[in-house]
Amino acid sequence: MSGGARQEKGVISRWQDERGFGFIQPEQGAALFVHVSAFAATPRRPAVGDAVYFLRARDDKGKPRASWAAFAGVPQQAVTAKALPDNTPRPWLAVLFVIVLCALYVRGLLPRDVLMLYAVISVLTVLVYHRDKAAALRNRWRTPERTLHWLALLGGWPGAMLAQYWFRHKSTKPAFRRWFWATVLGNGALLAGGLYQGERLLALLR
């Protein structure tokens, strides 16, 4: 926690778990916005009625928000949350997948267009994640989760995995993670099927 910041206590008065944000009602004063990323070091998702400690900050429009929060019921959580290990999933699979794609391209087993498609959609996915994270912090219109899943399924999942790590966004929500891994498996199946059909076509032409 930053020096000089005063820790306060409050209660989660509203929470929209599917959108990943809510409001804290302090012991004194008006409610203020809190995003789930402020709870990055805590063991579970917030819920209405949870007592929390928080640090007050302001967004780019000057509106109050919680820059850090922790459950008051967890012993020493308010003091040690920042020292807990970061459990955000690492994007090693995405890096390994890109290396495999490049190796297949060099060996002539993967068309250049397919490699470029993965690159373009992955970059687009990173940009969409970045926009959605910014919208969440500003309480603005959010990108539907199904859009993020479609981008991942169409080949943007390496970019999605990197974005989840870089931006700490959509990286811990269980339901989203289950669907995300389903899109990774689905895209892998589509790629494997395409490579198999390509090999069969080359064999027929020889």
The pLDDT-based confidence of 78 (bands split at 50, 70, 90) is very low
Residue 1, pLDDT > 90, answer no
Q: Which two tokens stand for residue 160?
A: 């999605």
| Rounded Cα gap, residues 155 and 161, in angstroms | 11
User: Which has more confidence, 84 or 173?
Assistant: 173
Quick: pLDDT tens for 107-165: 988 999 999 999 999 999 999 999 988 887 776 788 899 999 999 999 999 999 999 98
Model pTM score: 0.62
Say if residue 205's pLDDT is above 70: no
Give the model's confidence band at 22: pLDDT under 50 very low, under 70 low, under 90 confident, else very high: very high
Q: Which of 19-23, 112-116, 196-200 has the lowest mean pLDDT?
A: 196-200
- Mean pLDDT estimate for the chain: 83
Q: Which H or E run includes 201? A: helix 174-205
User: Is the predicted pLDDT of residue 72 greater than 60, yes or no?
Assistant: yes
* pLDDT number for residue 68: 87
Specify the pLDDT at position 179: 94
Q: Give every CB contact of residue 158 below 8 A, 6+ residues apart in sequence.
A: 91, 94, 95, 97, 98, 118, 122
Distance CA 187, CA 190 (A): 5
What is the distance between the terminal CA atoms of the chain, rounded to a whole angstrom? 66
